[in-house]
């Protein structure tokens, strides 16, 4: 699969957007500036490698068939995370309009100063009830939820044991904290146990994994992971962005699918994929 993706990247049209083409041309003429020179060289290298990405501008709501700029006919959209088709659901759109009428567009503040409204608390309670957890903290995105968790909870006395193919937001969150870092081979329980043994002297041992790995669709063996966590006195953290809402008998994600809803310490997830929201995420934990 990765070879085919790499081949498509190499053979894809290498078209710079007009504004970046102008930008790179301008930088070329001022190449004595080290920052401009570096940015120009980086853009050139990405273009030569076939990894430079251009925006596909959608001029319709997000859905299975979309309209894009410079095409008369609709195209089939197979790359969104709109798993349940809720991004353009009429009921959700109407509810969003009503919320703006009653609570405004934004708060112009962080939550702990004057940025928490009753609807935030109501949403946190509903998410907790859905996941059958004690409480939930909302973040602007799950990327932020992952970044905020590890640094807040873990210190240099602790250890994180992370799946090798975890999402970049987990990796960035791990980098922000001072805990010792261990990486186990993707979904390999032998490798996980070896790393748990290596981290045996840590005060807190936190196993971090995606529930569903978005690139290949692998589902983490959470039942086996939780069994090893219990054996070695560790905790389990799961990112459920690509599982919440549609994995498991009632859509409660990988912990429900694997029968370990009461064994996972922290679940992070998003409102911006299967649940249809523009953004938003949070972390939630059992009682």
Positions marked catalytic: 214, 242, 273
Q: In what order do the strands lie in the sheet with 266-270?
A: 135-139, 281-285, 266-270, 235-239, 205-210, 159-163, 180-184
Q: Confirm if 120 and 137 have CB atoms less than 8 A apart.
A: no
d(CA 2, CA 215): 9
| Residue carrying the six token digits 């980098």 | 175
Question: Contacts from 252-258 at CB under 8 Å and sequence distance 24+?
Answer: 252/130, 252/131, 252/132, 253/131, 253/211, 254/211, 254/212, 254/219, 254/220, 254/222, 255/211, 255/222, 257/219, 257/222, 258/221, 258/222, 258/223, 258/226
* Non-local CB neighbours of 182 within 8 Å, separated by 6+ positions: 159, 160, 161, 162, 195, 198, 199
d(CA 118, CA 122): 6
Report the residue count for the chain: 287
Label residues 138-176 b or e (16+ Cβ within 10 Å = b): bbebbbbbbbbbbeebbeeebbbbbbebbbebbeebbee
């Amino acid at each position: 699969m990765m070879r085919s993706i790499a081949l498509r990247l190499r053979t894809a049209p290498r078209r710079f957007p007009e504004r970046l083409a102008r930008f790179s041309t301008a930088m070329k003429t001022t190449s004595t500036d080290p920052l401009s020179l570096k940015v120009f060289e980086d853009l050139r290298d990405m273009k030569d490698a076939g990894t430079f990405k251009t925006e596909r501008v959608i001029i319709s709501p997000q859905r299975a068939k979309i309209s894009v700029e410079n095409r008369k006919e609709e195209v089939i959209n197979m790359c969104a995370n709109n798993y349940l088709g809720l991004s353009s659901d009429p009921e959700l759109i109407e509810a969003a309009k009503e919320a703006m009428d009653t609570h405004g567009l934004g708060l112009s503040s962080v939550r702990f100063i004057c940025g928490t409204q009753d609807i935030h608390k109501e949403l946190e309670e509903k998410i907790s009830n859905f996941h059958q957890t004690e409480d939930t903290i909302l973040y602007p995105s799950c990327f932020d939820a992952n970044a905020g968790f590890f640094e807040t909870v873990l210190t240099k006395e602790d250890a994180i044991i992370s799946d090798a193919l975890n999402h970049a937001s987990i990796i960035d969150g791990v980098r922000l904290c001072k805990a010792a870092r261990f990486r186990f081979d993707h979904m390999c329980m032998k490798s996980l146990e070896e790393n748990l043994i290596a981290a045996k002297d840590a005060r807190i041992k936190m196993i971090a994994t995606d529930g569903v790995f978005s690139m290949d669709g692998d589902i983490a063996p959470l039942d086996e992971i939780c069994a090893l966590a219990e054996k070695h006195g560790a905790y389990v953290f799961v990112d459920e962005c690509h599982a919440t809402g549609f994995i498991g008998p009632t859509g409660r994600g990988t912990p429900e699918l694997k029968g370990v809803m009461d064994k996972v310490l922290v679940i992070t997830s998003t409102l911006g994929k299967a649940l249809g929201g523009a953004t938003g995420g949070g972390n939630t934990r059992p009682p």
